[in-house]
Amino acid sequence: MSQRDFLKLSDLTTSEIEAIWKRTKEYKEGQAKNKPLQGKTIGLLFEKPSTRTRLSFEVAVIQTGGHPVFISSRDTQMSRNEPLKDTARILSRYLDGLVVRTFSQKTLDELAGFSAVPVINALSDLYHPAQILSDLYTIRERKSDLQGMKIAWLGDGNNVAHSWIEAACLFPFQLILACPKGFEPNEAIWEKAKKEAGERVRLTDDPIEAVRKAQVINTDVWASMGQEDQALDRIQFFQAFQLNGNLLSLAEPDCMVLHCLPAHRGEEITDEVLEGPNSAVFDQAENKLHVHKALLEFLLDGGKNFGR
């Protein structure tokens, strides 16, 4: 039986997330001096490429006193169909925690179900919860309060969008998603959010409606990892959803632009917007490191040093 996992954002409560952010600030400001992961070894099992998530977790482990071990699934017996339930039980006899980037959420659920150590989702086809934990932190850092804020999502109803939808059930902001027809979010995730967040979550296929007076605009690639063969076909459906100067001019003047990166300049976002004064993308990427330290500490050390 696994310990505390983080497979989707709603695996944490609002007050636990608040406590993680409080600790994040202490890490970022250099006030967290203890090494809660001392003596712990954390595996990073990746089935897909990664720059930010892999590195920020690896460095977070090192800087909190632990030891990271990167595991490319291709180099393991997983690539020769060793059952996940065996892999999970073996890995959790060597490791104290497992950070996983994979395709199917079922893979994560199965690994977590058979793991005796905490499992963290570092992106699946369904969710990217660790990303949204640091994206929300980045918004709070600049704008302090999420209450009533209008946050827009432009583009694909994908893994990142799904974690934003879960976030809107935990925090009192307005989330409006503009997705092309046929590329809306997962129906079950959407229906659950409608029940929990009601009118605070909205879906449209009109990007102008979504960005008008928005205080934050998020976007992401039009074809995610694993969908590369659809990339060319998708352009025709997504073109009107490009985050460019025209759309940004409809938002609040100090609107924050977020993109989890990597970005495809000239597709979902223009170079002008990504490099412009509204863009927070590099702070957003940096914050993954600080947030991951607090998340790891919470899951592996119980957050006992968190001044809640």
Distance of CA 102 to the CA centre of its chain: 13
Q: Which stretch binds ligand NVA (CB under 6 A): 17-25, 153-161, 162-170, 232-240?
A: 153-161
Q: Which stretch binds ligand NVA (CB under 6 A): 13-21, 39-47, 113-121, 156-164?
A: 156-164
Would you tell me the crossing angle of helices 129-143 and 281-301 to the nearest 10 degrees? Answer: 120
DSSP string, 79-140: GGT--HHHHHHHHHHH-SEEEEE-S-HHHHHHHHHH-SS-EEES--SS--HHHHHHHHHHHH
The least CB distance from residue 202 to ligand CP, in Å, is 25
- With H, G, I as helix, E, B as strand and everything else as coil, classify residue 108: helix
**Cis peptide before 262, with omega less than 30 degrees from 0?**
yes
> Which CB sits closer to ligand NVA, 35 or 48?
48
The least CB distance from residue 77 to ligand NVA, in Å, is 25
193 contact choice in ligand CP, ligand NVA, none (CB below 5 to 8 Å, kind-dependent): none
Q: Which stretch binds ligand NVA (CB under 6 A): 55-63, 155-163, 176-184, 287-295?
A: 155-163
Nearest to 40 by CA among 61, 19, 25, 56: 61
160 contact choice in ligand CP, ligand NVA, none (CB below 5 to 8 Å, kind-dependent): ligand NVA
51 contact choice in ligand CP, ligand NVA, none (CB below 5 to 8 Å, kind-dependent): ligand CP
Quick one: which of 13, 34, 38, 51 contacts ligand CP (CB under 6 A)?
Answer: 51
Nearest to 278 by CA among 129, 139, 140: 139
Q: Which stretch binds ligand CP (CB under 6 A): 14-22, 44-52, 186-194, 209-217?
A: 44-52
